[in-house]
Structure 1
Amino acid sequence: MIPKLRVARPTNALGPLLTFYRDGLGLTEICSFSNHDGFDGVMLGHPQAPYHLEFTVQHHHSAPLAPSAEHLLVFYLPNRPEWQAAIERMQAHGFAPVVAYNPYWDLQGLTFEDPDGYRVVLQNANWEY
């Protein structure tokens, strides 16, 4: 068994986040739920990957925005054409790259900011650790 990772985060903007992560980043909607004890949510990822992202909205509650520009999700895309296609897909859905807070991420990647202010780096490199 390979352990699985779920990164869960609250939001006030579930629809715009779906546009960013599903349509822009190309993640698959694995499942969703409505009015589960006052929460709506969606899980996104790749069906065979050992991780997924969960975004939830709590009824009658406001979630805070990103605390800093250094809260990152980094996706390593070593294949240059696949990386370029991911960048083009993000831009086709209206998401422009932003300058990374840490200049390291601008050397081989591009950073995008989601509707809640959290950042995603598409890194054109192998992860070698």
Structure 2
Amino acid sequence: MIDPSAHVRLARPARDLAAAERFYVHGLGLRVLYRASAEGPGEHDLLILGWPAATWHLELVGGENLTATPSPSAEDLLVLYLDGPVDEELVRRLEEAGGTRVSQGPYWDRWGVTVADPDGYRLVLSTRSWSNAD
């Protein structure tokens, strides 16, 4: 049985780690938890982002040895449940940091704001709480 409080890592490729860092750190407010550069063949550059006390973090891989290019779809969502209104200043910062506000369809458009990151992966800032997200 897996402990429900187990930590979660979401990993995805990024074409430009500096652009991704601007979006998630300067735009969203995550922190750089770890950074590494490829040191040999078959390795890639690594950027781990999150909040120190959170039980999840985002791992972005990139660099010259990247073998999987980003291929986001409209269903590749990272949803943050804010349990309240979306701060328009936050949305503005995300856009200034390289994001693009997009429509995510009637459900998500009603319950929040969606911003695509520089690679096209979608971040949903939901006004709902996790407990009423069903």
| TM-score for both structures, normalised by structure 1 | 0.85
Structure 2: where are the runs of 5+ without partners?
A: none
Q: 1:45 aligns with which of 23, 43, 50?
A: 50
* 3-state SS, counterpart of residue 35 of structure 1: coil
Letter in 2 for 1:72: L
1:1-129 matches, within 5 Å, as 2-37=5-40, 38-80=43-85, 83-84=86-87, 85-100=89-104, 102-128=105-131
Preserved contact between residue 36 and residue 47 of structure 2 (Cα < 8 Å): yes
Residues 100-127 of structure 1, C-alpha deviations (whole Å, 9 max, x = no match): 1x32000020000111111010011111
Deviation at 1:32, TM superposition (A): 0.6
The one-letter amino acid paired with 1:48 is A
Deviation at 1:36, TM superposition (A): 4.2
The number of residue pairs the alignment matches comes to 126
Pick closer, same or farther for the CA change 1:109–1:18 going to 2, 3 Å.
Answer: same
Taking the aligned partners of 2:121 and 2:98, their CA distance within structure 1 comes to 16
Distance 1:86 1:125 in 2: 17
1:97, distance to aligned residue in structure 2 (A): 1.4
Q: After TM superposition, where is structure 1 displaced by more than 4 Å over at least 4 residues in a row?
A: none
Q: Which moved more, 1:53-62 or 1:3-12?
A: 53-62
1:39 corresponds to which letter in structure 2? H
For residue 51 of structure 1, report the CA deviation from its aligned partner.
Answer: 0.5
- Contact 2:72/2:119, CA 8 A, preserved across alignment: no
The structural deviation recorded for 1:62 is: 4.9
SS in 2 for 1:31: strand
TM-score, length-scaled by structure 2: 0.82
CA distance in 1, matches of 2:6, 2:79: 19
RMSD: 2.0
Q: Distance in 1 between matches of 2:54 and 2:9?
A: 11
Q: Report deviation, 1:67.
A: 3.9
